[in-house]
Amino acid sequence: MYDFSKDPRFKGIEKFDRKVWLSSPTTHGDEQKWVDEAIQTNWVSTVGQNINEVEKQIAEYLSIPYAVGLSSGTAALHLAIRLAGERLYGAAKVGHGTLEGHKVFCSDMTFDATVNPVAYEGGEAVFIDTEEDTWNMDPKALEKAFEIYPEVRLVILAHLYGTPGKIDDIRRIADKHGALIVEDAAESLGATYKGIQTGTFGDYSIISFNGNKIITGSSGGMLLTKNRTDADKARKWSTQSREDAPWYQHEELGYNYRMSNIIAGVVRGQINYIDEHISQKKAIYERYKKGLADLPVKMNPFDGENSNPNFWLSCMLIDSDAMSSFVRGEMDQLWQTEPGKSSPGEILAAIIQFNAEGRPIWKPMHMQPIYRSHAFITRNGSGRGISNAYISGQSAVDIGADIFRRGLCLPSDNKMRRETQDKVIEIIHRCFE
Ligand SMILES: *Cc1c(COP(=O)(O)O)cnc(C)c1O
C-alpha cells in the first residue's frame, strides 16, 4: 500500500485522532424518550403510537396524504413497485411477479436497492444514462428509451446524493407515454424541487431511515402515496396480508415489512432535526466548494434555480485534463502520482490513511456484473459496448461511467468540525501538488 506519511507532499499532516465518517447517524436524545416509552408501555411490536405519529408527521412534513411505515427503504421500494406492477398489469398469481415479461426504465447512477425490487417482481431493468446537470436520470436518454421500447409503462427515478433530478421533464415524458413513476427519495428527504418536497412526485414514492441517511431510525423506511387504497394495501401486504377474519386468512401474498414501534421511536426523535441536519450538510458542501475552488475540480452540481438539495453527500469531480493515470478493473484499481494531477483512487487512499472516510461514486448499474446483460440507453441509443472504454485509460463515453471514473464522495458527516474539514481540504490540495 502506498505510504502517504513518507510522501514529502504530505509533510506535516497528522492523522485524525478520531475517525471522520462519510455520513454517520446523528442523535439528539429525544430518540431515547420515545423508545423508552414504547418499552415501558409494552408497545414494542409493529403496532403503536410511535408508528402512528411518524406516519402522521412525515406525511405532514412532505405534504402528502399517506405515509406507510416499513422495515426499510428497500421494502418500501418493493411494495411501491409491486403496487405499480399490479396497477399496470394486474395482480400476479402466487409464485409470480407483477412485472414478468415487462421492461422497466431505471436510474443508472444509484444504489442497487433502487433497482433490485424490479427483479423481485420478475421485471427487467433497462438503465437510463445520467445527465451532467444534477447527476440524475437524463430526460433525453429517457425519451430515446421510449423510442426504442415504446411498450414500457414504468419509470424508477432516484435523486442521487440528495439532489433532485429533472422531475418536470421526466414527469412530462412519463405522462406522454402513459407510464407510472416510482420515485426513490431515500437519499433526498427534505430536498425540494420548485418548492415541493421530493418523495411526493412519484405515483409511488419512498424514503429511507437507514443509519447513514439524513435522519435515521437505525433502519426503516416509508412508502408515500396520494391514494388511500394503495396505502391500505401496502400496510396489509407489509403485515403478511392478513384478512379481516377470526383466524389467519390469506387471499394475497404477504411480507413481513412493517416498521417496528421501537424503530419508529428513534425516527420520531429525529424528525424535528431534519432541517437542522440539512443546514449542517449544506454548510459542509459550501465549505468544500470554497475550499476546493482553486483546484481543477467541481462539486456535484444541482439546479440552483429550481431545487434545494438536502446536500446529503458532498462529492467532487476532477476535470478530465487534471486526471492522473488511473485504471480500474472489476474489483481493484491502480493509480499513479503525477504533478498537478490526481485521481479518485489517490484522493480516497490519502483520505483513508489520514483516518477519514470517503467513497467512490456509486458504480453505475449498467457496469455492475449482475446487470451487465441488461439494456443501457444513452441519448444516442444503446450505450452497450462503449462503457468499459475507461478500462483502457480512455475517457468514458457515457456520462455515468465518466462520473464514476472522475468523481468521489467526500467525508460529509454533519458532526465534522470546521478544522477537520479544513484538513480534509488540505489533504486534497496536497494530492494535486
Ligand atoms: C439507502 C438507499 C435505499 C435503501 O434504503 P434502505 O432503508 O437501506 O433499505 C434505496 N435507494 C437509495 C438511493 C438509497 O440510497
Note the pLDDT of residue 386. Answer: 54
CA distance linking residue 117 with residue 383, whole number of Å: 23
Strands (E), 272-321: 297-299, 307-308, 315-318
Residues 417-433: tens digit of each pLDDT: 999 999 999 999 999 99
Nearest to 155 by CA among 176, 186, 135, 131: 176
pTM for the complete prediction?
A: 0.96
Note the pLDDT of residue 384. Answer: 86
Measured in degrees and rounded to the nearest 5, phi and psi for residue 395 equal -75, 150
Measured in degrees and rounded to the nearest 5, phi and psi for residue 378 equal -110, 180
Which mutation among 130, 184, 315 tests ligand 1's pocket best, with the greatest number of atoms within 8 A of CB? 184
Residues 126-185: tens digit of each pLDDT: 999 999 999 999 999 999 999 999 999 999 999 999 999 999 999 999 999 999 999 999
Cα(394) to centroid of ligand 1, in Å? 32
Note the pLDDT of residue 18. Answer: 95
Which mutation among 136, 208, 313 tests ligand 1's pocket best, with the greatest number of atoms within 8 A of CB? 208
Between CA 243 and CA 248, with CA 246 as vertex, the angle to 5 degrees is 50
Judge contact between 409 and 272, C-beta under 8 A. Answer: no
Nearest to 303 by CA among 412, 394, 220, 191: 191
Please return the burial class of 202, using the count of CB atoms within 10 Å of its CB with bins 0-12, 13-18 and 19+: buried
Nearest CA to ligand 1 atom 5: 73
Question: Would you state the cell numbers that stand for residue 186, as one nine-digit string?
Answer: 431515500
pLDDT < 70 positions in the chain: 385-396
Distances (CA, A) of 276 to 28, 272, 432: 11, 8, 34
Which mutation among 106, 114, 315 tests ligand 1's pocket best, with the greatest number of atoms within 8 A of CB? 114
Domains of the chain: 4-25+274-431 (3.90.1150.10), 30-272 (3.40.640.10)
Atom of ligand 1 nearest to the CA of 220: 7
Nearest to 234 by CA among 56, 348, 84, 366: 84
Note the pLDDT of residue 397. Answer: 72
